[in-house]
Amino acid sequence: MTDLTSQPTPAPAGLPRRAFLRVAGASAASVGLVLAGCNSTDPLPVVPIDPNLLTLAAGETGLLNYLYLLEQLEAAFYQKVVDAPPADLLPADKAFFADLRDHEVVHRESIRFALAANAYDANRATPLAFNFSTLTLTTRAGVLAAAQQFEDLGVAAYTGAMRLVSTPSMLSFLAKIASVEARHAAFVRDLRTPGSFAGDDVVVNAAPLQSVSLTKTPAQVIEEAKAFFLPIVVSTSLLPTT
């Protein structure tokens, strides 16, 4: 049998043998360079991880972490007020804020349980600290204004997030929490202005939408709340939008 491996490779038709050898040699050299690059022991470039960037995961897991983060924020706010209430906060107000704190803790822990190992902070050594320096928490008026901001934002966040959920059990779970958040919002407004219950800034009263709460996307909510997370920057880029 003829040993084909020892025979010279014929030049393609129409290509002079000398030119073909030059092309073949260049191709072999190119392949050699590529293979040498693949086998290089040089370390690959490492992209540094920003410790102050929190990117929420994709899908419904990311949405649940987003709401979990907001519940942590609300619970931390009420805990701060309970621990250091302003001098003019009424005794009844203190009891109310303790109840609100307890509700938010229940919401926070319920979502944490649902997330289990998928919670964004499951492997964090220390819990996320929140920044309330932009709020006026030394007066009753300032505390109530902040509480209204958090509760209105929470209702808008749940309303917006539930539109992005397709799992029935998760939708039912979030709807139960959202209904409590709406009661909180109405209650805080009534503390600020007795008899107010709700306002045109959070309820749509224009036909064909009657008494529909405003809704905000995760990106809008995080943009509004970003000062409370500093120095952490929360990214919603992976969350669903439709």
pLDDT at position 5 is 45
Residue of 193, 205, 165 lying closest to 63 (CA atoms) = 165
Mean confidence (pLDDT) of the chain: 82
Mean pLDDT confidence for 95-109: 97
Of the pLDDT bands very low, low, confident and very high (cuts 50, 70, 90), residue 223 is: very high
**CATH architecture for segment(s) 53-235:** Up-down Bundle (1.20)
Residue of 52, 67, 158, 161 lying closest to 119 (CA atoms) = 67
Q: If phi over 0 gives left and psi between -120 and 50 gives alpha, with beta otherwise, what is residue 43?
A: beta
pTM score of the predicted model: 0.76
143 pLDDT exceeds 60?
yes
Residue type, 120: Y
Mean pLDDT confidence for 214-237: 95
Residue type, 16: P
pLDDT (tens digit, 9 = 90+) per residue, 193-209? 877 766 665 565 665 65
Tokens coding 3: 């040993």
Backbone angles phi and psi of 128, in degrees to 5: -70, 135
Residue found by looking up tokens 């942590």 in the block:
72
What does the domain layout of the chain look like in residue ranges?
A: 53-235
Name every residue whose Cβ is closer than 8 Å to that of residue 106 and which is 6 or more positions away in sequence.
none
Mean pLDDT confidence for 26-37: 40
% of residues, the chain, pLDDT over 70: 73
pLDDT at position 210 is 52
**Alpha-carbon separation of residue 218 from 13, 77, 136, 168, 241 (angstroms):** 65, 20, 25, 20, 8
Residue predicted with more confidence, 192 or 19: 192
Residue of 133, 154, 130 lying closest to 66 (CA atoms) = 154
Residue predicted with more confidence, 33 or 135: 135
65 pLDDT exceeds 60?
yes
